[in-house]
Structure 1
Amino acid sequence: MENLLEEILGCTICKDFLPLGVNPVLSAHESSKILLIGQAPGLKVHQSGIPWDDMSGKRLRQWLNVSNETFYDAKNIALIPMGFCYPGKGKTGDLPPRKECAEAWHKQLLSKMEEAELVLLVGQYAQKYYLQKNAKKTLTETVSNYKSYLPKFFPLPHPSPRNRFWLRKNPWFEKDVIPELQKRIARLV
């Protein structure tokens, strides 16, 4: 696993498309029990080099009901984005994650984490990639049907502050889904 992580951290596959340059951000261990697959690092995470080191990460840790220590212990939770580097700014937020990362590295990473019992799919990019034809037409439909993907996958919306309208419009998520998520996380960590 160490050699693979070193390879990923030295990856330059999409360097020509990254406005701020290459800086892969992830955390994984062969004994990770939970795989958290997100989108791509934001600007703050790109600068700090720490996965989920922003407001989205704060909300995500609240959803999971875990401390920073538990969250950042790779033996508990592997933090793997779809795109390992900050993709740059778009018109309404960050650009989508670069596709090269998942294609080049995800299969290799996941094959080394045989103890993983739960894969959290945060956001539509991770959901479409991993659920493929089983993903519903919208993120809302996919998340509301989370039970159909268990016990392996647990789809979640992105915890970005930009999604506050989605959360307000879908109170069932925090009322029904979050307690089930927290129960499963507590059992594994």
Structure 2
Amino acid sequence: MPIVEEDQSLISAVKNCRICEPYLPLGPRPVIAVAAESKILIIGQAPGTRVHQTGIPWNDPSGDELRRWLQVDRDQFYNPSIFGIMPMGFCYPGKGGSGDLPPRPECAVHWHSKLMAIMSKVELTLLIGAYAQSYYLGKMKKKNLTETVRSFDQYLPDFFPLVHPSPRNRIWMKRNPWFEDLVLPALRDRIKMLIRK
């Protein structure tokens, strides 16, 4: 089902959003990629500087790792009939003391439900990182991100919580080998099944 004119005008409004312009060190550049026919929705944190520069979501080492986890190539990943991509914060939020600042809160509150309304075919939402998990799982999330991700099967079939695939999380991956052994095979099985549908 193609995006109808009013849906296209919503996406245009998102891409021209200036709600939190005063707080953005590099200025606004909302980065999303959604379509009415998307089957899998990816909700991450916020664009980094490389994604801000290119305007292409997950176009960085974290994206390379995420595609490895999903076992999809770039063509599949950027095919809107398969994947919709909508971060918690649409613009680069700036640098903090230990990495990028948290996603701006305005985006999810103002835009997420409107965008989800046009993506009626979504069968699985990947919640990548603590911000997405807190927002969408609420009281259902566990005491921390590790336990939430370890309990991934409790959130199926709607949600699949994941740690962020940032190179900064290599230590976490080494400490939690169950992620590669148990979580990723289950994730890949679901992704393959949805792509084939």
C-alpha distance after superposition, 1:84-114 (max 9, x if no partner) = 0000011110000000000000000111111
Matched, 1:169 2:175: yes
| Amino acid paired to 2:35 | H
Alignment partner of 1:10 out of 2, 11, 16: 16
Alignment partner of 2:98 out of 89, 92, 99: 92
Q: Within 2, Cα distance between the matches of 1:117 and 1:123?
A: 19
Q: Within 2, Cα distance between the matches of 1:137 and 1:80?
A: 25
| Amino acid paired to 1:111 | A
1:1-189 paired onto structure 2 within 5 Å: 1-189=7-195
CA-based RMSD: 0.5
Q: Within 2, Cα distance between the matches of 1:63 and 1:139?
A: 18
Moved over 2 A (4+): none
State the SS of the aligned residue for 1:78: strand
| Amino acid paired to 2:44 | G
Task: Give the deviation of 1:18 after TM superposition.
Answer: 0.2
Task: Give the deviation of 1:74 after TM superposition.
Answer: 1.1
C-alpha distance after superposition, 1:113-132 (max 9, x if no partner) = 11100000000000000001
C-alpha distance after superposition, 1:168-188 (max 9, x if no partner) = 000000100000000000111
Q: Within 2, Cα distance between the matches of 1:118 and 1:100?
A: 24
Task: Give the deviation of 1:137 after TM superposition.
Answer: 1.3
| Amino acid paired to 2:137 | L
Task: Give the deviation of 1:27 after TM superposition.
Answer: 0.2
- Identity value in percent: 56
Q: Normalised by the size of structure 2, how large is the TM-score? A: 0.95
State the SS of the aligned residue for 1:105: helix
Q: Within 2, Cα distance between the matches of 1:73 and 1:3?
A: 20
Task: Give the deviation of 1:75 after TM superposition.
Answer: 1.1
Q: Within 2, Cα distance between the matches of 1:73 and 1:121?
A: 19
| Amino acid paired to 1:26 | I
Task: Give the deviation of 1:2 after TM superposition.
Answer: 1.1
Q: Within 1, Cα distance between the matches of 2:121 and 2:94?
A: 34
Q: Within 2, Cα distance between the matches of 1:63 and 1:5?
A: 28
Q: Normalised by the size of structure 1, how large is the TM-score? A: 0.99
Q: Within 1, Cα distance between the matches of 2:147 and 2:75?
A: 32
Q: Which runs of no fewer than 5 residues in structure 2 stay unpaired?
A: 1-6
